[in-house]
A and B are shown apart, each in its own frame.
Chain A
Amino acid sequence: MRIRWAQVEYQPNLQRSATPIPLGVIVEAIHGHRRELVLIGREPKGPAPEFQIDNAWGPFREVATNWFESVWRNTVSLMNEAADNELVVDQLAGMWTSNLYFKEPQSLTVAASKNLLTVARHRYQAFVGERIPPFAGERPRAKPVRRWMNYTLQATG
Chain B
Amino acid sequence: MADWIRTDKWKPASPGGGSSGFSVECPATGELGHGKPTSVPQEILGYLFAQEAGVSVPPTELGTCNGATIAASKSWGAQSQDVPTVNRVSPNDYNSDAFRQALRNASGLLAYHAWVGTGDLKDEHLMVRPGAAPGQYEIASIDFASAFGWPAGATAASVAVPSGPPALLANRDAQVIGAATVRIEAIAAARIDEIVASLPDPVLPAADKQRISTGLVARQGGVRTALTTAGWL
Query: Within the complex, what minimum Cβ distance (angstroms) separates A31 from chain B?
Result: 28
A56 to B77, CA, bound (A): 12
In the complex, what residues of B have CB within 8 A of residue A66's CB?
89
Please give, as numbers and ranges, the residues of chain A lying within 8 Å of B93 by CB-CB distance.
58-59
Residue A44 at the chain B interface, CB threshold 8 Å = no
A14 touches B75 (CB 8 A): yes
Report B-chain residues with C-beta under 8 Å of the C-beta of A67. Answer: 89
9 contacts between A and B (CB under 8 A): A59-B86, A59-B94, A59-B128, A62-B90, A70-B88, A96-B85, A97-B14, A98-B85, A99-B81
Contact A56 B79 (CB under 8 A): yes
CB pair A11–B86 under 8 Å, yes or no, is: no
Within 8 Å by CB of B89, from A11, A18, A59, A103, lies A59
Select A15's contact among B32, B85, B86, beta carbons within 8 Å.
B32
Interface of A is mostly: loop
How long is the Cα–Cα vector from A83 to B180 in the complex, in angstroms?
A: 44
Nearest 6 Cβ contacts at the A-B interface = A14-B75, A101-B11, A11-B10, A60-B79, A59-B90, A94-B14
Asked whether any CB of chain B lies closer than 8 Å to the CB of A17, the reply is yes
Whether B14 and A15, one on each chain, are in contact in the complex, defined by CB atoms closer than 8 angstroms, is no
Taken residue by residue from 85 to 98, chain A's Cβ proximity to chain B (1 for < 8 Å, 0 otherwise) reads as 00000000011111
Q: B14 near A56 (CB under 8 angstroms)?
A: no
